[in-house]
A and B are shown apart, each in its own frame.
Chain A
Amino acid sequence: MSALAEEFDPASIVTHDPVVRVEGICKHYGSVEALRSIDLQFERGKLTTLLGPSGCGKTTLLKIIAGLVPATSGRIMVNGRAVTGPGPERAFVFQDFALMPWATVLRNVAFGLELKGTPAAERNRVARHHIEQVGLQGFEDKYPHELSGGMRQRVGIARAFAVNADVLLLDEPFSAVDEQNRRKFQEDLLRLVEIENKTFIFVTHSIEEAVYVSDRIVLLSPRPGRVSQVIEPKIDRAADPDDIRRDAGYLDVVEEIWQGLRHYAE
């Protein structure tokens, strides 16, 4: 298993089927420059991670792609069209789950469809399918406070899948989940990337998590956030998860990224 990471000059990345194109995105909060001319492309069926120290603007970039935060300049193209706000081709998974505490699991998962006006029978059918996909069957009528943190995020993921978007935007989805559950989640996420032909954009601050789940890692440097490095960890996903985590190639990539980031750590 060759797990050598290949490095690219960020300017020369050309992908074959870019579903999402980030073109010259800059973001200022007043006099603070959060992001400086970000250019990126995201391919279908791949998982790209935005990785960087806190304050590098990775969540801001994700929210700009989601259309939740306006960019100061630059544009976001999704399926060849420039977008300015949220759209049906993108779905967001929130760090704090963002579940409605007064609604059952079923209603939470079906909420995206409820907002679109899908009839109740149809949206509940779709929601039940996705609840089963994330392994929560039997919990349809529970309320979020009756679930563990890990189960709550499964609801958040099922809700994002239920609207059948092309692009899934995940904002540190596993950071509020305990360690055992996080590993299980990472494995489940890899399975989802494999079976669903969707574009995944994933934000994390965990190097190990990024190397384990990503087809490509975009390293952002802080203040202002810029693309400092793009790494493709060539890891054989067919191997046993526990072997991957012990693999020398995997550990080398983790080490390489750490060397690239360590001077930002206080």
Chain B
Amino acid sequence: MSVMSQEKAVTGARAGPREGLRLFAQNRKSFWVVLSLVGLFTAWEIAGRVPISFAFPTFLETLAAFFEMLGDGTMFRAFFLTLQPLVLGVGISALVGIALGIAMGLSDRVEWLLAPVFIVLQAAPMAALVPLVTFVYGIGLTAKTLAVVMLALPVIVLNSYKAVRHVNPSLVDMCRSFQGTRMQQIFKIIIPDASPVLFAGLRLGVAAGFIGVMLAELLITPTGIGDLITYHRSVANYAHMYAAVAAIIAVSTLTLAGLQYVEVNVLRPEKRRK
């Protein structure tokens, strides 16, 4: 496969740059990813130049503002603050959520006990509850971490539960027929077989965690990225405001992509060879 694409790349170089680009586009997924982003940023640039609103900066202005904030260290300080409740909250939600979800999947009683709570929590508009958290826990790290957990935990629990319930019963029978213990059944069959859905839940949970931390930083007290957004909006520094928004979106996207990479390469090695 790699030999073939090399061969094609060589003939492509001989056939001229246009032909080379065509072959590159055929063989490389990254070409389409880059094309998609270029399209998005071009549309953004055009919309900014029209302009659709005086408060909407062009892509290039935003990019310049981003590098300025990166250069003077404000971006790093902001992420340092934002990532604390985020990493803590997502970490707690992942550990507790997967454990609770698996327990619910394995036992009907645990399911009956916990499922209603998490179904209600998932359905509830959590943003409305965030101000309530500040009454109880103030405006510190605890309140913000709690906001992240409130958003991330239900989706992780419910997906983990579903993941375990959809494990292939024939594999569980197979494990029993070879006298596997209950622990072997859980760790050698149920968790690996559930891992694709488990990870799908984790990805949704992490995305919800990002929503949680932004809600916390916008609604509780402005710190970190939320502070950058609030401050630059208040002084009509729109390019900087959008740079902060785009930066958190980028970090969120990269985190989710990283999670997918871990899943494919660590837990389900067979998916690498498709």
Contact = CB atoms under 8 A, between A and B. Distances in A.
Contacts of B195: 102
B176 A86 contact: yes
A102 B189 contact: no
Nearest to A113: B178
Interface stretch (A6-14, A40-48, A92-100, A127-135): A92-100
B192 A102 contact: yes
Given A86-B179, A100-B189, A102-B268, A68 B173 contact: yes
A112 B178 contact: yes
Contacts of A115: 175, 178-181, 184, 188
A145 interface: yes
A143 B173 contact: no
Contact of B178 (A143, A144, A146, A163): A163
Contacts of B269: 102, 143
A98 B173 contact: yes
Contacts of A86: 176-179
Interface string A81-118: 00001111011101010101110000000011011100
Interface in B189-213: 189, 192-193, 195
B171 interface: yes
Nearest to B176: A86
Contacts of B181: 115
A66 interface: yes
Interface in B156-179: 168, 170-171, 173-179
Interface residues of A, number: 27
B139 interface: no
B198 to A, nearest CB: 13
B178 A101 contact: no
Nearest to A146: B273
B92 interface: no
A87 B179 contact: yes
A205 B224 CA distance: 68
A61 to B, nearest CB: 15
Given A94-B170, A145-B270, A100 B192 contact: yes
B174 A143 contact: no
A14 B219 CA distance: 82
Contacts of A100: 171, 189, 192-193
A63 B172 CA distance: 13
B88 interface: no
- 10 A-B pairs closest in CB distance: A143-B270, A98-B174, A112-B178, A92-B177, A98-B170, A115-B180, A86-B177, A115-B178, A102-B192, A102-B268
Given A68-B173, A101-B268, A115-B180, 11 more contacts: A68-B176, A92-B174, A98-B168, A98-B174, A100-B171, A101-B270, A111-B174, A115-B175, A115-B179, A115-B188, A144-B270
Interface of A: 63, 66-68, 85-88, 90-92, 94, 96, 98, 100-102, 111-112, 114-116, 143-146, 163
Interface of B: 168, 170-171, 173-181, 184, 188-189, 192-193, 195, 267-270, 273
24 contacts: A85-B176, A86-B176, A86-B177, A86-B178, A88-B179, A90-B177, A91-B178, A94-B170, A94-B173, A98-B170, A98-B173, A98-B174, A100-B193, A101-B193, A101-B270, A102-B192, A102-B268, A102-B270, A112-B178, A115-B175, A115-B178, A115-B188, A143-B269, A145-B270
